[in-house]
């Protein structure tokens, strides 16, 4: 009785046979596991509902992304989908390599453009020992109270509340 059951279960599970002429691949299951997903959550869902990975990510919290959006190489997901649909391995691999090369070129061009724009915004003054970089700052970028992260000196110049003169530093009540 166990052998037919085992064969039926194994037919339902996706398996990959790496033959001698086939190169090993990186499975999409090897992604970072968020610590919030280590806990067990029992979420009642009807049997007729299609429960996806995005639904599972929402069950653990709004800030957790599904693997499709968290994956660093989305082309790898497309490659795995093509393989699951029964595409030719060599053709799918060629398309995967072309897509990743194209996305890497686009990313490199985007980074070069942003670096060029940042260098154009800055004025550089070279001295014997130092290079000073000056950047134009808008006063409106510091926010309503002047402590926004984009404002000048948001880390410096504003003392913490416990360092201000006259601040009570010992607890006055227990909560």
DSSP designation for 139: G
For residue 52, pLDDT over 90 is answered with: no
Cα first-last separation, the chain: 63
For residue 112, pLDDT over 90 is answered with: yes
Cα-based torsion angle of the residue sequence 34, 83, 4, 2 in order, rounded to the nearest 10 degrees: -30
Considering the entire predicted model, what is its pTM? 0.44
Q: Tokens for 139?
A: 């006063």
- What does the pLDDT read at residue 137? 78
């Amino acid at each position: 009785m166990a052998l037919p059951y085992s064969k039926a279960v194994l037919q339902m599970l996706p398996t990959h046979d790496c033959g001698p002429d086939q190169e090993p691949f990186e499975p999409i299951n090897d992604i970072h596991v968020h610590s919030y997903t280590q806990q067990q959550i029992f979420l009642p869902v009807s049997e007729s509902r299609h429960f996806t990975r995005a639904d599972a990510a929402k069950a653990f919290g709004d800030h957790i992304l599904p693997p499709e959006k968290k994956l660093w190489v989305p082309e790898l997901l497309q490659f795995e989908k093509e393989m699951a649909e029964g595409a030719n391995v060599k053709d799918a691999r060629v398309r995967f390599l072309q897509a990743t090369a194209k996305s890497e070129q686009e990313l490199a061009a985007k980074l070069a453009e942003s670096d060029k724009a940042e260098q154009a915004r800055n004025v550089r003054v070279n001295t014997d020992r130092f290079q000073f970089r000056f950047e134009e700052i808008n006063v409106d970028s510091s926010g309503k109270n002047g402590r926004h992260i984009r404002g000048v000196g948001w880390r410096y110049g504003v003392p913490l509340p416990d360092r201000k003169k006259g601040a009570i530093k010992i607890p006055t009540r227990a909560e």
